[in-house]
Amino acid sequence: MSDIVIFGGAGFIGAKLKTVYPDAAFPLADIADQATVSKIFDAGKPSIVINAAGKTGRPNVDWCETHKIETLRSNVTGPLVLLEECQKRDIYFVHIGSGCIYDGNGNGAGFTEDDQPNFTGSFYSLTKAMSDKLLAPFPVLQIRLRMPFDDRDGPRNLITKLSKFERVLDVPNSITYIPDFLSALETLVKKRARGIYNVVNTGAISPYEIMERYKKIVDPSHSFSKLTLKELPEVVSAARSNCILSNAKLKREGIRMLSVEEAIERALRAMKLDKH
Ligand SMILES: NC(=O)c1ccc[n+]([C@@H]2O[C@H](COP(=O)([O-])OP(=O)(O)OC[C@H]3O[C@@H](n4cnc5c(N)ncnc54)[C@H](OP(=O)(O)O)[C@@H]3O)[C@@H](O)[C@H]2O)c1
């Protein structure tokens, strides 16, 4: 039996975690079902639990607006159940959180882990901000991601998602290159780090700029136009977080994240090779 239990293995991030922890157990259990979680822990006796389960909505977070109970159960109740069951057994608990709990650029320097969440404009973000705050006083490692992407085409990959949009937002944002996230996670887990970490690449880039590079590198025939923040409500029902996070805390741990430009370029070049 593996020493690591990972929840959410059928999801986008969970599948990526399988590449780093191939021997982990990936139970397909409801994380909010305390009796089941307790049984899994008693049977497997893990020393590490990673939570990559949660409701993110299909096709997008607008779904959470009309499925609030399911979203609350998975994004708040579930993490609290895992916390309690891990605390009882002294299990190291790692929770995949989100940077989509901020709006703005944190006075120009990017929001740090100490800044209070200031965006609850969607029910999804509200639940992620709540779990972030509720877990914060406990010895839990929280990894905040932001619009994850790599070179693998897929409906959850930021680059693939943007390539399907006719109009693309021109607001700079933090983003997370999945290979950088996976190696940061591995390093933090090895150190048994606790607390919150913004796991984002250095700098900021707008979705529009990403598509300009996509057109140049991957598909010169791709066409799209600019969407301003003011026009965003024309294409989504719930508000969206647009924010820049600081990764200075990660750097202080000696963890290097590529610049957003380098990470996007790397993913696009590999994507192009795959397509040709
Ligand atoms: N992808 C992003 O853009 C992004 C960005 C920042 C943070 N995150 C966070 O990263 C985590 C994983 O996201 P993801 O992109 O991998 O989402 P995903 O592709 O939707 O995967 C989440 C998985 O969790 C499962 N799940 C939902 N509720 C559950 C519950 N109560 N018990 C057990 N499993 C449950 C889902 O199953 P069903 O499909 O059956 O619901 C799905 O298989 C989430 O917490 C998300 O908030 C994601």
Q: Look up the CATH number of the domain holding residue 40.
A: 3.40.50.720
**Statement: residue 79 has pLDDT above 70:** yes
Task: State the Cα angle at 47 between 130 and 194, rounded to 5°.
Answer: 45
Is the Cα torsion angle 73, 74, 78, 80 positive or negative in sign?
negative
Is 249 a domain residue?
yes
Nearest residue by C-alpha to atom 42 in ligand 1: 11
Q: How many CB atoms lie within 10 A of CB 60?
A: 15
Is the Cα torsion angle 176, 179, 182, 184 positive or negative in sign?
negative
Domain with 17 in it: 4-150+176-203+243-258
User: Residue 197 is which amino acid?
Assistant: Y
Number of domains composing the chain: 1
> From the alpha carbon of 9, which atom of ligand 1 is closest?
43
Q: In the prediction, which pLDDT does 235 show?
A: 87
Task: State the average pLDDT over residues 93-101.
Answer: 98
Distance CA 25, CA 28 (A): 10
Distance CA 117, CA 69 (A): 22
Q: How many CB atoms lie within 10 A of CB 1?
A: 9
Measured from CB, residues less than 6 Å from any atom of ligand 1 are 7-8, 10-14, 30-32, 52-56, 73-74, 78, 96, 98, 128, 145, 147-148, 156
Distance CA 198, CA 168 (A): 25
Tell me the percentage of the chain whose pLDDT exceeds 90.
Answer: 94
Q: In the prediction, which pLDDT does 273 show?
A: 86
Is 267 a domain residue?
no
> From the alpha carbon of 128, which atom of ligand 1 is closest?
47
Q: In the prediction, which pLDDT does 236 show?
A: 87
Tell me the percentage of the chain whose pLDDT exceeds 70.
Answer: 99
Q: In the prediction, which pLDDT does 276 show?
A: 66
Is 36 a domain residue?
yes
**Statement: residue 1 has pLDDT above 70:** no
Average pLDDT along the chain: 96
> From the alpha carbon of 145, which atom of ligand 1 is closest?
6
**Statement: residue 164 has pLDDT above 50:** yes
Is 67 a domain residue?
yes
Is 215 a domain residue?
no
Distance CA 230, CA 223 (A): 21
Is 74 a domain residue?
yes
Is 115 a domain residue?
yes
Are 99 and 245 in contact, with CB atoms under 8 Å apart?
Answer: yes
Q: In the prediction, which pLDDT does 44 show?
A: 97
Is 212 a domain residue?
no
For 106-160, what is each residue's pLDDT tens digit?
A: 999 999 999 999 998 999 999 999 999 999 999 999 999 999 999 999 999 999 9
Is the Cα torsion angle 230, 236, 240, 244 positive or negative in sign?
negative
Work out the widest C-alpha separation in the chain, in whole angstroms.
56
